[in-house]
Amino acid sequence: MSAVRTPARVLDGAVVAAAIRESLRPRIEDVRRAAGRPPALGLLLAGTDPGSEVYVRNKIRESEALGMRTALKRLPDSAAFDEALAVVDAFNADPGVDGILVQSPLPAGMGDDAERRIFGAIDPSKDVDGFHPANVGRLVQQTPALAPCTPAGVKELLDRCGVSLVGRRAVVIGRSDIVGKPLAMLLLHRHATVTICHSRTVDLPQVAAQADVLVAAVGRPAFVTADFVKPGATVVDVGTNTLTDRDRVTSIFGAESKKLAAFEKRGRVLSGDVHPGVAEVAGAITPVPGGVGPLTIAMLLSNTVQAAERRLGIRS
């Protein structure tokens, strides 16, 4: 008689994000008492990218729900890079702004290196996305820094869900400056043995299948299949991909799936980088949506509060 397979434990990012937000409330009040105002986040939104509009709206809503202030500056698609730089310079100089976020992508007309240049222009003490070179260096050196929000959210999720990293093998698929590289550093600081994989990795499924903790951050729907996963491993799906092709939805989720039913109503659904069949092998897994996504915004709020505390000399 074959053993009954226990379904993978779902690591609920929404629950963890809610706990993080609640933990910020007394700290926000401490800032209010010290500064005469709550922590404040300045946001720059350049262009009309629909995804960016949604992300910025969600960030503002979550910030203001906690009683924080936000200041949104908009620029049109036709804006020059110097106009974006002027907004960042104004936020840098404003003592009433604790954190600065430049929503990416920037309009193509600003140039191929616009994001690198604009992130480098942000005051590191206000860099709540953690992309400034000074904050990247501090992260590597394990000195106090504002860490990138998505990697920090993954770390919080694993910690709060009791996933041990000490001495464990962790594999990160994806080497972006925003997720893959900083997450590898955070896992290393938790004493995991870390491997970063990418498009040139030889025998990628075999390498991934050695992981006790596997993170997928490649931006390719259902890329990680069951053969990538060691039985019982923890799988973290960072991907958020929009599917608009019915056949693709059917091939990934099945003809009788809830995802296909949702597609029939809305004409699009979200897929992570991890195939749903992985849940039959993994010991724990994050859902999409509702896994890493909510934690990214929660850590943005946390970084903004932390930036305000540091500027005021308040120890959290």
- Residue whose C-alpha is closest to residue 158's, from 234, 209, 218, 210: 234
Q: Are residues 119 and 188 in the same domain?
A: no
- Residue whose C-alpha is closest to residue 282's, from 272, 293, 268: 272
Q: Are residues 277 and 196 in the same domain?
A: yes
Catalytic residues, by residue number, are 59, 103, 129
Cα–Cα separations (whole angstroms), residue 66 to 19, 20, 35, 43, 227: 12, 11, 17, 17, 43
Position 3 in a domain = no
Query: Is the Cβ–Cβ distance between 157 and 186 less than 8 Å?
Result: no
Q: Are residues 262 and 173 in the same domain?
A: yes
Cis preceding-peptide flag for 289 (omega within 30 of 0): yes
Q: What is the pLDDT along the chain (316 residues), one digit of tens a residue?
A: 455 667 899 999 999 999 999 999 999 999 999 999 999 999 999 999 988 999 999 999 999 999 999 999 999 999 999 999 999 999 999 999 999 999 999 999 999 999 999 999 999 999 999 999 999 999 999 998 899 999 999 999 999 999 999 999 999 999 999 999 999 999 999 999 999 999 999 999 999 999 999 999 999 999 999 999 999 999 999 999 999 999 999 999 999 999 999 999 999 999 999 999 999 999 999 999 999 999 999 999 999 999 999 999 987 6
| Residue burial 33-72, b: 16+ Cβ < 10 Å; e: rest | eebeebbbbbbbbbbebeebeebbeebbebbeebebbbbe
Q: Are residues 65 and 177 in the same domain?
A: no
Q: Please tell me the predicted confidence (pLDDT) of residue 315.
A: 73
Query: Is the Cβ–Cβ distance between 301 and 62 less than 8 Å?
Result: yes
Q: Are residues 112 and 153 in the same domain?
A: no
Position 235 in a domain = yes
Domain holding 158: CATH number?
3.40.50.720
Q: Which residues contact 239 (CB under 8 A, 6 or more apart)?
A: 216, 217, 218, 219, 220, 221, 223, 271, 272, 273, 274, 288
Helix, strand and coil percent figures for the chain, each rounded to 5: 45, 15, 40
Position 143 in a domain = no
Q: Are residues 169 and 262 in the same domain?
A: yes
Q: Please tell me the predicted confidence (pLDDT) of residue 274.
A: 98
Q: Please tell me the predicted confidence (pLDDT) of residue 3.
A: 57
Position 9 in a domain = no
Position 26 in a domain = no
Q: Are residues 200 and 240 in the same domain?
A: yes
Domain holding 54: CATH number?
3.40.50.10860
Domain interval for residue 211? 148-293
Q: Are residues 238 and 177 in the same domain?
A: yes
**What is the end-to-end Cα distance of the chain in Å, rounded?**
55
Q: Are residues 116 and 156 in the same domain?
A: no
Q: How many residues are listed for the chain in this entry?
A: 316
Q: Are residues 212 and 77 in the same domain?
A: no
Q: Please tell me the predicted confidence (pLDDT) of residue 1.
A: 45
Query: Is the Cβ–Cβ distance between 130 and 136 less than 8 Å?
Result: yes
Position 96 in a domain = yes
Q: Give me the residues paired with residue 197 across strands.
A: 173
Q: Are residues 84 and 160 in the same domain?
A: no
The total number of structural domains in the chain stands at: 2
Position 138 in a domain = no
Q: Are residues 119 and 247 in the same domain?
A: no
Between CA 174 and CA 203 the distance in angstroms is 15
In this prediction the pTM is 0.94
Position 20 in a domain = no
